[in-house]
Amino acid sequence: MLPYEDALSLPLLYHLNSEPWLNQDAYADPTAVPEFAPVGQPSEAVPLPPRTDDSPLSALLAARRSCRTYARKPLPLTAVARLLDNAYGTIAVTLRDNGLLGITRPIPSAGGLYPLNLRVLTRDITGVPDAVYDYNVLHRCLEPKTLPVDAGEVTDHFLAQQFLEHASVIVILSAVFARTLKKYGARGYRYVLLEAGHVAQNLCLTAAELGLGSLCVGGYRDRALNSALGLDERREAVVYCIGIGHVA
């Protein structure tokens, strides 16, 4: 076992060594399909009532589908705000007895430590220059952080997945590992990734509510994308990306 005090070495060893696996045989393998185990004792199984889509949440869950054909047309800034606020915004801000701010957000977070930062790469948002912005949660604004990223460069970062060029926004989730690992040790790495999943699901469901398509993207070049965003990947690194836009 690694020493208790060394929370970062193991997660970083894994994270920095898990660049995309460009194994075409694995991608093309026709036998790589989900396996469903047969019901053990049918007589003992409890059948569930038929699925219903009659609640707003069930309808949104049914509407969510990965979208890989986006139409380039303007998206209002109000839609971007709704997406970001529902994903990782503030529900309430309180001043705690210890003088620190307590922030309630729309997702659970291990220890309430909120290790993620959200950036948005925008394309054709009404009144907003195309660029990469930090989502400033407390001040509720988009802060331009890097030079605009051209479409070809984006496609390259995302393993030539060209459909992402036409998404109105790509929300890039990065994690400041130490925020969670200093409390939970190496196990905190799991929590960071689980939290990113919560944020992504909120984005996908909000997109569905707005009539937009979404695509969760794990296929991106870590080193290239982190470096384009000016991140020191030993401290903060991209863990997930979500493309959102008008369905073509």
Ligand X SMILES: Cc1cc2nc3c(=O)[nH]c(=O)nc-3n(C[C@H](O)[C@H](O)[C@H](O)COP(=O)(O)O)c2cc1C
Footprint of ligand X on this chain (CB under 6 A)? 65-66, 68, 161, 215-219
Q: How far is the CB of 132 from ligand X (least distance, A)?
A: 19
Residue 118 or 215 having the CB closest to ligand X: 215
- Count of other CB atoms within 10 angstroms of residue 191: 20
CA distances from 37 to 32, 40, 41, 72 (A): 15, 8, 12, 43
- Count of other CB atoms within 10 angstroms of residue 86: 18
Q: How far is the CB of 63 from ligand X (least distance, A)?
A: 11
Residue 76 or 219 having the CB closest to ligand X: 219
C-alpha–C-alpha distance, residues 217 and 172, integer Å: 10
Residue 8 or 191 having the CB closest to ligand X: 191
Nearby residues of 218 by Cβ (< 8 Å), 6 or more positions away: 240, 241
C-alpha–C-alpha distance, residues 230 and 30, integer Å: 39
Residue 128 or 173 having the CB closest to ligand X: 173
Residue 2 or 194 having the CB closest to ligand X: 194
> What is the residue type of 197?
G
Q: How far is the CB of 29 from ligand X (least distance, A)?
A: 15
H/E stretch holding 108 reads none
| 8 A C-beta contact, residue 186 and residue 7 | yes
Q: How far is the CB of 180 from ligand X (least distance, A)?
A: 19
